[in-house]
């Protein structure tokens, strides 16, 4: 860890110094290092009690040094709200984490959350895994909470596609909960990301999971609830999704099945109905190619000159009119017409009626 991360860790390990106080310090001082070198009355000016100043662990504090060694041995990164690699969508919510502990690597893909019952039906688990696999094949990162049931199936589905997934924990980064998900935990960590806002050693207490759920939805452009009873914790994630301006989706179920009561209520209240991955893709990512198609498109674009590549990158599987393409590329109609004809002859695009174009 660099010095800035170590300073943030000391603040994060300070007893009684929670997320709200951390942000008060951040907004007052402009970073998480200056508070450690400021006098106590500056903390008071930031709206943080000076008694907390005296509780900040020293650099030679035994617990701090032990935690630092533990994080380094686990290859854990500590990401602060001010860092460039902090997830941009998460930064936009009204109560973002001040710090995130990360094992693995955060994917750059767009994210979509899938959550649901810990006691899901076998049909629900199969559907979850299939949906996650299809979305991951379209380069969508699947976010969930590593819980039993639907969460585990969602992560597994993304891994089946060799796609991206993020597991958000309601405990410390050194804890695997539930214990039976230890292999899944390690599989995700190898190529993807495990994150939490809780310091190492934090147990998986029930009160931590609503906070975890706001991160799941905060990372994502949409949230799908697969199966949920009337008072399911998954519905909390749905509430956060709506509060954060995310799209909410649900899968319908039999009227008198307990695991369908929550999802059916969401559908009555306006959640988007999902029967297959197309419902999600067409709503959030219309025309999104699969990873395989994207690879072919990239190979094709690499063979083009700069102007033709720019035109090709603007096109997708959704029709685009030539006038809009010309405006974005800064080309005359004659220049654009020649490029479009060349792209069509090469097999990269197709012409549709009304001067509209799509990728082949």
10-residue averages of pLDDT along the chain (360 residues): 92 95 95 94 94 94 95 95 94 96 94 96 95 95 97 97 97 95 96 96 93 97 94 90 96 85 92 94 85 69 87 84 90 91 90 88
Q: What is the distance between the alpha carbons of residues 192 and 106, in angstroms, rounded to a whole number?
A: 6
Q: What is the pLDDT of residue 253?
A: 87
Q: What is the pLDDT of residue 114?
A: 98
Within 10 angstroms of residue 57's Cβ, the number of other Cβ atoms is 18
Q: What is the pLDDT of residue 246?
A: 97
What is the Cα 298 distance to its own chain's centre?
Answer: 24
Which residue in 248, 240, 359 sits closest to 294, CA to CA?
Answer: 359
Helix, strand, or coil (residue 227): coil
Q: What is the pLDDT of residue 295?
A: 64
């Amino acid at each position: 860890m660099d010095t800035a991360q170590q300073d943030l860790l000391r603040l994060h390990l300070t007893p009684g110094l929670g997320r709200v106080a951390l942000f008060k310090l951040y907004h007052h001082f402009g970073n998480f290092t200056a508070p450690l070198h400021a006098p106590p009355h500056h903390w008071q000016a930031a709206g943080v009690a000076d008694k907390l100043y005296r509780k900040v662990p020293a650099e030679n504090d035994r617990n701090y040094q032990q935690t630092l060694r533990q994080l380094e041995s686990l290859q854990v990164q500590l990401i602060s709200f001010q860092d460039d690699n902090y997830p941009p969508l998460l930064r936009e919510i009204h109560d973002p984490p001040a710090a995130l502990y990360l094992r693995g690597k955060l994917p750059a893909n767009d994210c979509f959350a899938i959550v649901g019952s810990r006691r899901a039906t076998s049909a629900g688990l199969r559907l979850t895994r299939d949906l996650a696999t299809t979305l991951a094949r379209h380069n969508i990162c699947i976010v969930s909470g590593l819980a039993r049931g639907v969460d585990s199936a969602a992560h597994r589905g993304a891994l089946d596609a060799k796609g991206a997934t993020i597991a958000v924990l309601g405990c410390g980064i050194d804890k695997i909960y539930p214990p039976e998900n230890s292999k899944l935990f390690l599989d995700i960590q190898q190529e993807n990301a495990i994150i939490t806002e809780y310091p190492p050693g934090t147990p998986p207490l029930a009160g931590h999971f609503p906070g975890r759920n706001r991160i799941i939805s905060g990372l994502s452009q949409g949230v799908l609830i697969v199966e949920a009873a009337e008072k399911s914790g998954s519905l909390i994630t749905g509430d956060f999704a709506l509060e954060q301006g995310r799209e909410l989706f649900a899968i319908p179920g039999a009227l008198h099945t307990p695991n369908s009561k929550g999802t059916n209520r969401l559908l009555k209240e306006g959640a988007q109905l999902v029967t297959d991955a197309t419902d999600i893709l067409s709503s959030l990512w219309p025309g999104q190619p699969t990873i395989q198609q994207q690879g072919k498109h990239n190979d094709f674009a690499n063979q083009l000159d700069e102007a033709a590549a720019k035109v090709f990158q603007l096109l997708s599987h959704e029709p685009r009119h030539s006038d809009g393409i010309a405006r974005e590329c800064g080309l005359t109609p004659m220049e654009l017409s020649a490029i479009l004809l060349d792209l069509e002859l090469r097999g990269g695009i197709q012409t549709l009626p009304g001067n509209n174009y799509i990728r082949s």
